[in-house]
Amino acid sequence: MSHVCWQVAQGADTIGGTVIVLAADGWRLVLDLGSLYTPAQPVFDSRLRPRGIRDLQRLGRAPVVPGLFTDHQGVDSRLAVAISHAHFDHCGLLPYVRSTVPVWMTAETRRLLTALPDAGLGPEIGALDLRTACPGEPIRWGPFTLTAVLVDHDVAGACAWLVEAPGGRLAYSGDLRLHGRRPYLTWAFARRARDFQPDVLFLEGTRVRAAPSPETEQPELGEEAWAGALARCLETAPAGAYIAVYPMHTERVQALQWAVRMVGRRLMLTAPTAYLYAAMHGQVACSAVLGGDEDTWTPAVRQWLTAQRLPVWLPQQLHGQERAWVVELPYERLTAWVDIRPADGGLYIHADANPGGPFDPAWANLLHWLDVFGVRLIRLSASGHATPSDLQALLTVVQPRWLVPVHTLAPAALGAPHIRRLLVQPGQVYTASGQVCNGMSERSEGGPDG
Ligand SMILES: [Zn+2]
Ligand SMILES: [Zn+2]
């Protein structure tokens, strides 16, 4: 029997694009299959699209994992995937996975990933062998026993994974935070991981920077406080109020609905966001839908709107009526302002939507549009990721034998006193005890320089 070996095949020093491959006894388990998100140099975009996984691999946007993707020859019945949550930087490569490979995820993540293409907000993943992981219930896969443990993140159904394997125990955090509406989930994961006594903890470090900055440690606007902060903005808004949210964060859309109701306005969502919310919550979140883009609606969205008899407003109907509404207006729909002709004093509330900030070239363009239409920008953010000090607190609870930073631009800056850290080298394979392995199929005697 061979001991488990592991490799961070992608995402050790990037934010997202995480792919961790574990191997033991000829079996393999892949934790997350993320797309890399680099808006400053997207490599592929809406004009230049990859033809398949080979294009992504050739351009360094996907790792080579034999037997996993559709372009590869040969079926490997001893290969499986476990996904932490529905964000594309963790599951964006799923459309390229062979339909014979089992893919585990929580029920909520599965519901989201199924509803997204129906809403027109994500790629089709219909042919995959999707399997539901019940949180806390161990799943046997060859020599691996994997268990999903729920955590709090800015999307429903997010989980961490605990993996027991021959010769080692490995824990993977996925993305998590302590300032969401369910911090107790993340704490419970930390305690459960502590009891699991992991040899290796793969921990996300999104907000860790090489040099500490006030931005990464600023007092956090928690998810709970977000609706109140929004209501205060809206209360004093003299004219139109527009908002950009992340449609997949349906809990945030729910908070938006509360805030809008609190200030006596009505909520108008784009059709895909309205559909996705209803698919996840079984309720309608808005009083009307913003039309003008009907040609882009999917059949599922059209059918749902017909059944709901929700009014569809054309942008020009909002002219002179803005004060009664809060209108979801994503970047892609900014042209609606040409027809709305916003009154003076309008607000654009940016709540963790795309473009995400000045690091994205589209941000400067957003500012230009706001300037042209005289609409004031308010950023109202509640991050999906733990602050560096919260990460340290979690690490102190878990006490892994090795910390392996992932999902961060500054792996060397993530850590806690007395916890050994392993900074992975590209392409390198390791054992559970942090030693260099000769390869995924090798035995685990390892090298001298762990
Ligand atoms: Zn992520
Ligand atoms: Zn995430």
Question: For tokens 């991050």, what's the residue?
Answer: 383
- Per-residue pLDDT tens over the stretch 163-178: 999 999 999 999 999 9
pTM: 0.95
pLDDT for the residue 120: 97
Q: Which bound ligand lies closest to the C-alpha atom of 406?
A: 1
Q: Which ligand number lies closest to the CA of residue 151?
A: 2
- What is the Å distance from ligand 1's center to 172 Cα? 12
Q: Tell me: the pLDDT tens digits for 277-317?
A: 999 999 999 999 999 999 999 999 999 999 999 999 999 99
pLDDT by residue (tens digit) across 107-127? 999 999 999 999 999 998 878
Q: At what angle do helices 250-262 and 223-235 cross, to 10 degrees?
A: 40
Q: Do domains 5-212+385-437 and 221-379 have the same CATH topology?
A: no
Distance between Cα 316 and ligand 2 center (Å) = 36
Give the DSSP per-residue string, 144-209. EEEEEEE---SSTT-EEEEEEETTEEEEE--S--SSSS-HHHHHHHHHHHHHH--SEEEEE-TT--
Q: Which residues of the chain have pLDDT under 50?
A: 442-450
For domain 221-379, which CATH number applies: 3.40.50.970, 3.30.2130.10, 1.10.3720.10, 3.40.50.10710?
3.40.50.10710
CA of 105 to the centre of ligand 2 (A): 14
Whole-number Cα distances in Å, 148 to 66, 176, 189, 193:
25, 14, 10, 11
What are the residue ranges spanned by the domains of the chain? Answer: 5-212+385-437, 221-379
How far is the centre of ligand 2, averaged over its atoms, from the C-alpha of 85 (Å)?
7
pLDDT at 391: 97
- pLDDT at position 219 is 58
User: Is residue 7 classed exposed, middle or buried when 0-12, 13-18 and 19+ CB atoms within 10 A define those classes?
Assistant: buried
SS3 content of the chain, % helix, strand, coil (to 5): 30, 20, 50
* Dist. CA 36 → ligand 2 center (Å): 12
pLDDT at position 449 is: 29
Ligand nearest to the CA of 159: 2
CATH of 5-212+385-437, one of 3.60.15.10, 1.20.990.10, 1.10.287.40, 3.40.640.10: 3.60.15.10
